[in-house]
Amino acid sequence: MSRLQALYDSKRMMPTDAAGLVRDGDTVVVPTGVGEPPALLHALSARRHELRDVAVSQILPLRKFAYLDPDTRANIRHDAYFFGGASRPGGQAGWVDYVPAYFSELPMLIDRGLLPAEVVVSLASPMDEHGYFSLSLAPDYTMAAIRRARVVLLEVNPNVPFANGDCLVHISQVAGLVESDEELFEVGLPEIGPVQQAIGKHVAELIDDGSTLQIGYGGIPDAVVMQLQHKRDLGIHTEMLGDGILSLIESGAVTNRRKTFMPGRTIATFALGSRRLYRSMHRNPGIEMHPVEFTNDPYLAARNDNLCAINATMQIDLIGQCGSETLGHLPYSGTGGQADFVRAANRSKGGKAFIVLPSTAKNGAVSRIAPVLSPGTHVTTSKNDINYVVTEYGVA
């Protein structure tokens, strides 16, 4: 038996034992979306009546874990960096707290101790021959949290790809290992109707061959992707790697050949999509996963000439303020990386920042373009950063 395998075996434990390493008052940091480790989090949930003042911090939880319940708040509460379907009801009812921050700056806040991170739990690939695990699904802010944490717990799953990039954790950094083989959470492409298709066509007409793309979260950015299959030599520098981007790679539209920063590679900080997407990442030299302070740094991303950032908003006013994260005073999503990439595209030589939205909501009864934002709406992207605004009717 090798030294590394012996070390691995010494750290292997049951989920209940791993969850037992969490103490009262700890903050448990969980990666974005698919990177969440279900066995570890279910085991933590099972302790929800014995722990006190424990926080679970995450972007976009995908599963409804038992601690996402108002009755457990005094024991385990959820601090949301970004709301998803599982956490949104709690945010709107007021028993889930929101942490306002740019996605790119979460690692800095963790590094400085402004956001606590005593424990990190994450899905990880199997260990390689050098003792490294890949946190390929979401290195995001998780790598920064690992630097600060007292306890790092990995849920090792053979379905997690071993990806290239700055997303590796050595076994010497890990306190406990839990093994599972649960299939990874899959997220399908959103339904795209005529309005979304029209918006996608308008944006695609303004994207030149050789541009580098950031594709935001949501149905309209995916509709843009569908209109780009005929383009050539596109590049990718983005936060989210999804099936739309995979389709551009497979069609030959994305080659990354003409990128002026990190050419030849698709760059992202988290993956969210199908099993096929996750498999495509495995030891793929053309895809690299990096922490969010790298991918979303506006100054680094802007080193790509002709950077086109495509992001959706829910409402915009007549001076250009974008409300992309709340419905009036009700939280819906979060700040995320929209402002990071809007600013990056504006700094990029030849760059274009697109804000996309349908012109109306509620079957045409309510305009999304308003003289002023609805009362209570949070401004995600300021009027000073607006470049292109696109609806189904055209471009402004």
Predicted local distance difference test score (pLDDT) of residue 221: 86
Q: Return the SS3 of 84.
A: coil
User: Which region holds residue 230: left if phi is over 0, alpha if psi is between -120 and 50, else beta?
Assistant: alpha
354 vs 211: CA distance, rounded Å: 13
| Among 239, 288, 325, 392, the one annotated catalytic | 239
**Alpha helical stretches, state H, 334-394:** 338-347
Q: How confident is the model at residue 191 (pLDDT cuts 50, 70, 90)?
A: confident
State the chain's mean pLDDT as an integer: 96
* Closest among 193, 229, 203 to 310, alpha carbons compared: 203
276 vs 161: CA distance, rounded Å: 11
DSSP codes, 224-264: HHHTTTT--SBEEB-SEE-HHHHHHHHHTSB--TT-SSSTT
Q: How confident is the model at residue 23 (pLDDT cuts 50, 70, 90)?
A: very high
Q: How confident is the model at residue 218 (pLDDT cuts 50, 70, 90)?
A: confident
Each residue of 353-378: pLDDT tens digit? Answer: 999 999 999 989 999 999 999 999 99
For residue 1, pLDDT over 80 is answered with no
For residue 132, pLDDT over 80 is answered with yes
Q: What percent of the chain has pLDDT over 70?
A: 100
Each residue of 48-90: pLDDT tens digit? Answer: 999 999 999 999 999 999 889 899 888 999 999 999 889 999 9
Question: Quick one: the chain helix, strand, coil %, rounded to 5?
Answer: 25, 25, 50
Predicted local distance difference test score (pLDDT) of residue 67: 87
3-179: CATH number: 3.40.1080.10
Give the max Cα distance, the chain: 70
Sequence ranges of the domains in the chain = 3-179, 194-395
Each residue of 152-180: pLDDT tens digit? Answer: 999 999 999 999 999 999 999 999 999 99
Predicted local distance difference test score (pLDDT) of residue 216: 87
Q: Specify the pairing of strand 27-29 against strand 54-59.
A: parallel
Question: Which residues does 87 contact at the CB level (< 8 Å), separation at least 6?
Answer: 61, 68, 78, 80, 96
Q: Are 54 and 119 in contact (CB under 8 A)?
A: no
183 vs 375: CA distance, rounded Å: 43
215 beta partners: 310
Q: How confident is the model at residue 190 (pLDDT cuts 50, 70, 90)?
A: confident
Q: What are phi and psi of 284, to 5 degrees?
A: -90, 115
238 vs 269: CA distance, rounded Å: 7
194-395: CATH number: 3.30.750.70
Q: Specify the pairing of strand 168-170 against strand 132-134.
A: antiparallel
Q: How far is CA 271 from the centre of its chain?
A: 7
**Residue 207 CB-half CA count within 13 A:** 33
Predicted local distance difference test score (pLDDT) of residue 189: 78
List the single range of 10-19, 217-226, 252-261 with lowest mean pLDDT: 217-226
For residue 394, pLDDT over 70 is answered with yes
354 beta partners: 310, 388
239 is catalytic: yes
Q: How confident is the model at residue 110 (pLDDT cuts 50, 70, 90)?
A: very high
Each residue of 226-276: pLDDT tens digit? Answer: 999 999 999 999 999 999 999 999 999 999 999 999 999 999 999 999 999
Mean pLDDT, residues 343-357 taken together: 98
Q: What is the pTM of this model?
A: 0.96
The counts of H helices and E strands in the chain are 13, 26
Mean pLDDT, residues 267-292 taken together: 98
For residue 135, pLDDT over 70 is answered with yes
